[in-house]
C-alpha cells in the first residue's frame, strides 16, 4: 500500500496512525472508531445482513455496530459503485485506540488464523506480522481459503481470524478494567488474555508483557466468502463517527 505521497506504507504504520486518531469515549459513546469496509452486490444485502446478525449473536464479530452504504455514498476516499452496497463494521484495532485513550499502549504484532476446538481457542496456525506486509494480514489470510468459520459455528470446531497485541504487564489490572467497560457497551472481541511472560495460544510474547488476542473484525466477511457471497473487504479502511452507525438488530 502507498500513502497519499506515493510512499510505501507498511500495515504497522497505518495501524499506528488509525489508533492515535481513534477518539471513542466509552462513557459518552461519542467519537470516531476504526472501520472495515466491505463491498457486496446490492442483490445480496439481505443475506449479508443475516450473516452479520449470525456472527454478532455468536460472538464472532467485534461489535454490533455497522453502517450500510448505498451506491454513490462516499466513505473515506471511496465511492460505493453502481449496483453495489457498502458495509462498514467496527475493526478490532478500535480496541487498541480505546486502550491508548485510557493510557494503555499496545503493540499490535500480527494477524492470524486461530484453531478452535470444542468452542475453545487452541493455537494460532498461520500468522502474518504487521511490520512485514503492506496488506492487512487478515485480508491475505481470508483470501487463501484457510478459514472454516462456518464449520466452527456449526460444530464448535474450526478456524477463525484473530490478531495479537502485546501490553506491558504493569498495565494488567488497568487493561482488564477497560476491556470490561468495552464489553458493557457491546464491544466483545476479546478471545484470550494471556499471563505475563507466558505464551498465548502457543505464541511467545516479549519479556515483561502479556498477550491479548482479539477476534478479527473480518470474520463475518470470511463466513460470507465461505458461503459463496461475492464480497470484497478493505480492512482498517478509515475512521467513522460511532453515532453515524446503527446496530445490526436495527435492520430486523
Q: How far apart are CA 135 and CA 96, in angstroms?
A: 19
- Name the residue among 128, 95, 101, 118 with its Cα closest to residue 213: 95
What's the confidence (pLDDT) of residue 9?
66
Q: Report, in this order, helix, strand and coil percent for the chain, each rounded to 5.
A: 35, 35, 30
* Fold match between domain 11-92+219-247 and domain 94-217: yes
**pLDDT on residue 48:** 96
Sheet holding 120-129, edge to edge: 120-129, 106-117, 158-168, 209-215, 190-193
pLDDT of the residue at 134? 84
Helix, strand, or coil here: 103?
coil
**Exposure b/e, 2-20, CB count within 10 A at least 16 = b:** eeeeeeeebbbbbbbebbe
pTM comes to 0.92
Q: Please state which CATH number belongs to domain 94-217.
A: 3.30.70.1360
Residue 178 phi, psi dihedral angles, 5° rounding: -70, -40
Which segments of 154-221 are extended strands (E)? 158-168, 190-193, 209-215
Q: Cβ(237)–Cβ(75) under 8 Å?
A: yes
pLDDT along the chain (252 residues), means of 10: 52 92 95 96 96 93 95 92 96 95 94 96 95 86 91 95 96 91 90 93 95 95 94 90 96 90
Do 22 and 98 touch, CB atoms closer than 8 A?
yes
Domain ranges within the chain, ordered by starting residue? 11-92+219-247, 94-217
* DSSP state letters, 110-167: EEEEEEEETTEEEEEEEEEEGGG-SS-HHHHHHHTT---HHHHHHHS-EEEEEEEEEE
Pairwise CA distance, residues 18 & 148, whole Å: 29
Say which CATH class 11-92+219-247 falls into. Answer: alpha beta
Contact 188, 62 (CB under 8 A): yes
The predicted pLDDT at position 5 comes to 47
- Give me 47's grid cell: 443475506
Amino acid at each position: 500500500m502507498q500513502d497519499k505521497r506515493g510512499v510505501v506504507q507498511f500495515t504497522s504504520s497505518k495501524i499506528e496512525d488509525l489508533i492515535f486518531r481513534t477518539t471513542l469515549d466509552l462513557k459518552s459513546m461519542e467519537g470516531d472508531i476504526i472501520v472495515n469496509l466491505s463491498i457486496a452486490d446490492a442483490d445480496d444485502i439481505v443475506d449479508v445482513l443475516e450473516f452479520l446478525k449470525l456472527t454478532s449473536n455468536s460472538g464472532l464479530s467485534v461489535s454490533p455496530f455497522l453502517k450500510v452504504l448505498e451506491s454513490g455514498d462516499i466513505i473515506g476516499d471511496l465511492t460505493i459503485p453502481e449496483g453495489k452496497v457498502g458495509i462498514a463494521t467496527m475493526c478490532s484495532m478500535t480496541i487498541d485506540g480505546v486502550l491508548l485513550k485510557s493510557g494503555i499502549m499496545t503493540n499490535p504484532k500480527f494477524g492470524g488464523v486461530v484453531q478452535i476446538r470444542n468452542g475453545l481457542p487452541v493455537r494460532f496456525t498461520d500468522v502474518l506480522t504487521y511490520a512485514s506486509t503492506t496488506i492487512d494480514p487478515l485480508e491475505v489470510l481470508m483470501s487463501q481459503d484457510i478459514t472454516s468459520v462456518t464449520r466452527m459455528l456449526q460444530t464448535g470446531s474450526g478456524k477463525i481470524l484473530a490478531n495479537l497485541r502485546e501490553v506491558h504487564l504493569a498495565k494488567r489490572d488497568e487493561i482488564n478494567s477497560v476491556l470490561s467497560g468495552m464489553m458493557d457497551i457491546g464491544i466483545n472481541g476479546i478471545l484470550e488474555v494471556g499471563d505475563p511472560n507466558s505464551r498465548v495460544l502457543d505464541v511467545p510474547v516479549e519479556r515483561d508483557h502479556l498477550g491479548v488476542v482479539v477476534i478479527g473484525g473480518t470474520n463475518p466477511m470470511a463466513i460470507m466468502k465461505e458461503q459463496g457471497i461475492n464480497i470484497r473487504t478493505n480492512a482498517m479502511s478509515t475512521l467513522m463517527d460511532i453515532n453515524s452507525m446503527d446496530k445490526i438488530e436495527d435492520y430486523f
